[in-house]
Amino acid sequence: MATTDFLFLFPIMVIAGAPVMMMLIIVLVRNLKVIYTSSLVMLGIALLSLFTIVPQTTHQIGSLLIIDRYGIMFLGIIFFTSMLVTVLSYEYLCKHYGEREEYFIILFVAVLGASILVIANHFVTFFLGLETLSISLYVLIAYLRSRDQCIEAGVKFLVIASLATAFLLFGMGLIYAGTGTMSFLDMAQSMAKGKPLSVLLLAGYGLIFTGVGFKLALVPFHMWAPDVYQGAPAPVTAFIATISKGAVLALALRLFANHQGHHPDTIRIVISGISILSMFTGNLLALGQTSVKRLLAYSSIAHLGYLLITLLAGTNEGIEAAIFYILVYSLNTIGAFGAISVLSEQIRDADNITDFEGLFWHNPLIAILLTLSFLSLAGIPLTAGFMSKFYLVLAGVRSGLWLLAFSLIINSAISLYYYLRVIKTMFTPTDTVKAIRLTPLTGMVLIVITFSILLLGIFPSIVTGP
């Protein structure tokens, strides 16, 4: 490895070194605040160091990793979102007792897994990143051991994720048997030759897509999402919904979009079908939910369905749209889960819709954040969600995916109903007044999210321009 390689890998090494450092700190002094501060600092360093390495050209490290603008964008999103999650987690953990410091260590390991995923260029790194991410997620989901629901969700996720891993591994094996390479680029080249895919390769891709589909909770692999979303602690759910899914999608984009749309018809049809199914299933099932966390789980199924459009578009425009969409979606979701975790109590999370009754009248700040997040998820103009949907539809329509764009539009209309239901609840007057204390930093994070949703909704060029 050359020295430049180390330079480019610096952010990743910061993230990898952080858990070790934090374990040592715990040995010396066990204090939640110290761990929290140091993890924020480490994430901050990693985020800042990204700016120093924005490369003009793509930098490859061996055949395993690739650091390009695309990867860096995703790394930025991951680090930024992790910071938000960290702040929310601290607020959330303050309400609990017991050994809470290790939470942040595991969180870092998960971030490390996600970061490796987005710069992976080889099946080995792909698998390594995914497993690092998943295994730390099992622990995080079941972190609050006193709650039955948490354990249940953790076990469910464990079973499903292992199954998905098995599919993935088998798929990788088949593709390796078919092409003789495990590097993404070589595979793309052999695909681009235009030969019809052999059954072996097709099966390989199918299995890999199944594995990815499990991780992204696409229909028909979505069964785990509602239970896990509901059972896991709110900040962890936010992490799964944004970073974990974002990283896997980033990888899928790299794997599939490398082919610049040279997909054989079978793959196109299957992906379109899954996309449309996910949109409809997610939105229709969300309609009747009374638990906000379950509702968000179903809505995330639908959103991932929308995002598959970029996978099919395969153009640069589509990839830009995907990056922007994931960024905005992460902001919205963190906003929503942030509000939930702030409102949560020690015994249970505030995920019932009645917990939000009259929120606007006694906690306007949280209510405004939540309203904006939901409107943005619904894609109403003036919020970032609208712009991101606009880019997505435009990218889709330009690649001739009218059917998908049309079903996205229909689904946006359906989804309005349940988003509005939550918003309406917040404006229902109530007598019970629940005072909520926010630490200044949490308050600031909530305000930052609120403003970025608005800002990206009005001036999206600041992100998409350069």
Q: Which residues bind another protein (CB under 8 A)?
A: 361, 375, 380-382, 386, 393-394, 397-398, 405-406, 409-410, 412-413, 416-417, 420, 424, 427, 429, 459-461, 464-465
CB of 142 closer than 8 Å to CB of 171: no
Q: How far is the CB of 350 from another protein (least distance, A)?
A: 22
Closest CA to 53 of 15, 7, 12: 7
Which run of H or of E encompasses 41?
helix 32-52
Cβ-in-10-Å burial (0-12, 13-18, 19+) of 402 comes to: exposed
Nearer to another protein, 241 or 380 (CB): 380
Nearer to another protein, 51 or 459 (CB): 459
Q: How far is the CB of 416 from another protein (least distance, A)?
A: 6
Closest CA to 15 of 146, 167, 100, 132: 132
Nearer to another protein, 429 or 440 (CB): 429
Q: How far is the CB of 420 from another protein (least distance, A)?
A: 6
Nearer to another protein, 183 or 289 (CB): 289
Cα–Cα distance for residue pair 371/113, rounded to 1 Å: 32
- Strand, helix or coil for residue 375: helix
Cα–Cα distance for residue pair 347/257, rounded to 1 Å: 45
Nearer to another protein, 259 or 398 (CB): 398
Angle ∠(337,338,340) on CA atoms, nearest 5:
60
CB of 90 closer than 8 Å to CB of 445: no
Closest CA to 47 of 26, 18, 90, 21: 18
Q: How far is the CB of 51 from another protein (least distance, A)?
A: 22
Nearer to another protein, 295 or 405 (CB): 405
Nearer to another protein, 82 or 399 (CB): 399
Nearer to another protein, 9 or 423 (CB): 423
Nearer to another protein, 6 or 417 (CB): 417
- Written as six digits, the tokens of 396 are 């889709």
Which run of H or of E encompasses 50?
helix 32-52
Task: Give residue 466's Cα distance to chain centre.
Answer: 23
Cα–Cα distance for residue pair 295/58, rounded to 1 Å: 40
Nearer to another protein, 107 or 323 (CB): 323
CA dihedral (35, 41, 43, 46) positive or negative:
negative
Q: How far is the CB of 453 from another protein (least distance, A)?
A: 14
Show Cβ contacts of residue 358 under 8 Å, excluding neighbours closer than 6 positions.
426, 427, 428, 429, 430, 432
User: What is the residue-wise DSSP string for 175-244?
Assistant: HHHHHS--BHHHHHHHHHT-PPPPHHHHHHHHHHHHHHHHHHT-TTS-THHHHHHHHS-HHHHHHIIIII
Nearer to another protein, 79 or 386 (CB): 386
Cα–Cα distance for residue pair 447/372, rounded to 1 Å: 11
CB of 271 closer than 8 Å to CB of 259: no
Q: How far is the CB of 219 from another protein (least distance, A)?
A: 22
Nearer to another protein, 236 or 375 (CB): 375
Cα–Cα distance for residue pair 111/128, rounded to 1 Å: 13
Q: How far is the CB of 457 from another protein (least distance, A)?
A: 10
Question: Could you count the other beta carbons within 10 Å of the beta carbon of residue 251?
Answer: 25
